[in-house]
Amino acid sequence: MKVEPVVLEGDFVRLEPMRLDHLPALVEVGMDESVWKWTNNVVNDASDIERYVREAIAMRMQGTSIPFVTIEKATGTVVGSTRFGNIDTANKKVEIGWTWINPKWQRTVINTEAKLLMLTHAFETWNCIRVELKTDSNNDKSRNAMLRIGCTEEGTLRNHMITESGRFRDSVYFSIIQTEWESVKQNLTSKITA
């Protein structure tokens, strides 16, 4: 696995490696409080998003994460963010997560194609044997989206994290393994072309 920042581009979405100059656009779309409801982060103002971006870029510099901004190709508008994280080259696995999208673009082709691009990169470029996804156990929308993608729910880690607000979070883990990839790819592709 040669892990380095990369641009991933489809018909509807472009994922660009996150940079500090993306900050104004991320603030513009990231101030909706519903975006952060089930994340570990507390976002009250632009400085909170700046901290989020700086931490994501620092993790990229450490080689443990590749954060992206999510861009709607038709308009060139930054609509949110996602990333590869918990990169484990020795065990050929990665996590896809930290995904948030402004509500205006939720339930559109944007996130579906972004997941297709990221999974394709993980399985076909990095030759991963496993991709993990997780979400707050209370986040039914995210849980249903992961099942819709074709992920397998593996279980719940109780008191898995302490959020910035101090709440104990239970996390539900999902995965896709290498032998399931072709079926998941066909499923996602059909959702985009439908």
Residue 1 lies in a domain: no
CA-nearest of 27, 69, 67, 78 to 50 is 27
- Would you state the pLDDT for residue 40? 86
The domain that contains 146 carries what CATH number? 3.40.630.30
Question: pTM for this structure?
Answer: 0.95
Overall number of domains in the chain: 1
d(Cα 72, Cα 41) in Å, to the nearest integer?
Answer: 24
Residue 74 lies in a domain: yes
Asked if residue 140 lies in contact with residue 115, where contact means CB atoms within 8 angstroms, the answer is: no
Residue 156, pLDDT > 70, answer yes
Residue 9, pLDDT > 70, answer yes
d(Cα 188, Cα 194) in Å, to the nearest integer?
Answer: 10
For 39, 84, 100, the CA distances from 167, given in Å and listed in that order, are: 11, 25, 20
Residue 3 lies in a domain: no
112-124 mean pLDDT: 97
pLDDT averaged over every residue in the chain: 95
Residue 2 lies in a domain: no
- Give the pLDDT confidence of 123-145 residue by residue, as tens digits: 999 999 999 999 999 999 999 99
11-23 mean pLDDT: 98
To 5 degrees, how large is the angle CA 94–CA 99–CA 105? Answer: 140
Per cent of the chain over pLDDT 90 is 91
Which structural domain, as residue segments, surrounds residue 119?
A: 8-193
- Would you state the pLDDT for residue 194? 60
